[in-house]
Amino acid sequence: MKLRRFWFKFDFKLGDGSRPGLLIGCGVTAYSYEDAIEILKTKVFHGDVPTPKKVTEDVDISNLDPGHVIPNMALPINRGVWFPLGYQ
């Protein structure tokens, strides 16, 4: 089964108590959308995942923020969270 890159955007606002680093978005490599949600559930939210505002499947990394996301992400070739760092 082939791994796919997902980019999740949530409707978080600064200071609302959301998980650190998720205001820009969250990058996950997984086998499917359902697998990506399971990774978010266990690694990031430790429970229910808020409904994403937007999900980009097979995201092109070069289209992500070159000033913040790209220099601060793990390699997106392995299954798991690659942005933000700290949720691996």
* Residue that is written with structure tokens 């200071």 in the block: 15
Q: How far is CA 74 from CA 13, 27, 29, 71, in A?
A: 24, 9, 11, 9
C-alpha–C-alpha distance, residues 14 and 9, integer Å: 14
- Residue 52 amino acid letter: P
Give the tens place of pLDDT for each residue, 7-38: 999 987 766 666 667 888 999 999 999 999 99
pLDDT bin (cut points 50, 70, 90) of residue 72 is very high
For residue 71, give the DSSP letter: G
Average pLDDT over residues 36-47: 95
Task: Give the Cα-Cα-Cα angle 26, 59, 86 (nearest 5 degrees).
Answer: 25
Alpha carbons 29 and 42: distance in angstroms, whole number: 14
**What's this model's pTM, rounded to 2 decimal places?**
0.91
